[in-house]
Chain A
Amino acid sequence: MILTLHLIALALYGVATVLALAQFVGLRSVPRALLIALPCAGAAVHVVGVSQLSLVGFAAGLSMLALCLVLLSLVSERLLRGSAVSFFAGPLATGLLGLAILTGLAPGAEPSAGRNAWFILHVALSVLGVALLALAFIAAALYLLQFRELKSKHFGQVFQLFPPLERLEQLNRFALIAGFPTLTLGVLLALGYAARFAGGLHVGKAQIVWGLFTWVVLGWAVWVRVVRRWAGRRAAFASIAGFAAVLLVYVALKLAQPGAERFL
Chain B
Amino acid sequence: MSVGIQVLGVNHRTAPLEIRERFAHGPHEVPGALARVLAAGAAGGVLLSTCNRTEFYLVADDEPAVEAAWSLLGERLGGTARAAAREYGYVARDREAVRHLYRVSAGLDSMILGESQIQGQVRDAWEVSRAQAGPVLHRLFQTALHVGARVRTETALGMGTASAASAAVAVAGKIFGDLAGRTALILGAGDVAELAATCLTNEGVQVTLVANRTQERARAIAERLGGAARALTLEEAWPHFATTDIALCSTAAPHAVVTWERVGDVIAARRGRPLCILDLAVPRDVEPAVAQLENVFLYDVDDLQTVAAQATARRRDEVPAAEQIVEEETDLFWAWYGGLGVVPVIKEFRGRMEHLRAAELERAMRQLGHLSPEDRARVEQFSQALLNKFLHQPTVALKAAAEQGRGYGLLEALRRLFGLEAPE
Contacts and interface: CB of A to CB of B under 8 A. Distances in A.
9 contacts: A150-B297, A153-B303, A164-B173, A164-B175, A165-B174, A166-B176, A229-B271, A232-B274, A233-B295
Greatest chain B CB density within 10 A among A151, A153, A230 is at A153
Interface in A34-66: none
Interface of B: 153-154, 156, 159-160, 171, 173-177, 271-274, 291, 294-295, 297, 299, 303, 306-307, 310, 321
A230 B272 CA distance: 8
A232 B272 contact: yes
A159 interface: yes
Chain A: interface secondary structure? Answer: helix
A230 B177 CA distance: 20
A134 B54 CA distance: 55
B294 A165 contact: no
Given A155-B310, A165-B274, A31 B154 contact: yes
Contact of A155 (B175, B273, B297, B306): B306
Q: How large is the interface on A (under 10, 10 to 19, 20 to 34, 35 or more residues)?
A: 20 to 34
Given A164-B177, A229-B271, A31 B153 contact: yes
Contacts of A146: 174
Given A153-B299, A153-B303, A166-B274, A233 B294 contact: yes
Nearest to A231: B272
Contacts of A165: 174-177, 274
Interface of A: 28-29, 31, 146, 150-151, 153, 155, 159-160, 163-167, 229-235
Contact of B175 (A160, A166, A231, A235): A166
Nearest to B156: A29
A234 B177 contact: no
B53 to A, nearest CB: 29
B252 to A, nearest CB: 25
The 7 tightest CB contacts between A and B, nearest first, are A164-B177, A232-B272, A231-B272, A167-B177, A166-B177, A164-B174, A166-B176
Contacts of B299: 153
B295 A232 contact: yes
Given A31-B153, A151-B297, A159 B174 contact: yes
Contacts of A151: 291, 297
B369 to A, nearest CB: 75
Nearest to A160: B160
A205 B16 CA distance: 82
B175 A150 contact: yes
A132 to B, nearest CB: 21
Greatest chain A CB density within 10 A among B171, B177, B271, B310 is at B177
Contacts of B171: 150
Contacts of A231: 271-273
A165 B175 CA distance: 5
A253 B176 CA distance: 41
Given A160-B160, A232-B272, A232-B294, A155 B307 contact: yes
Contacts of A155: 303, 306-307, 310
A151 to B, nearest CB: 7
B204 to A, nearest CB: 14
Contacts of A164: 173-177
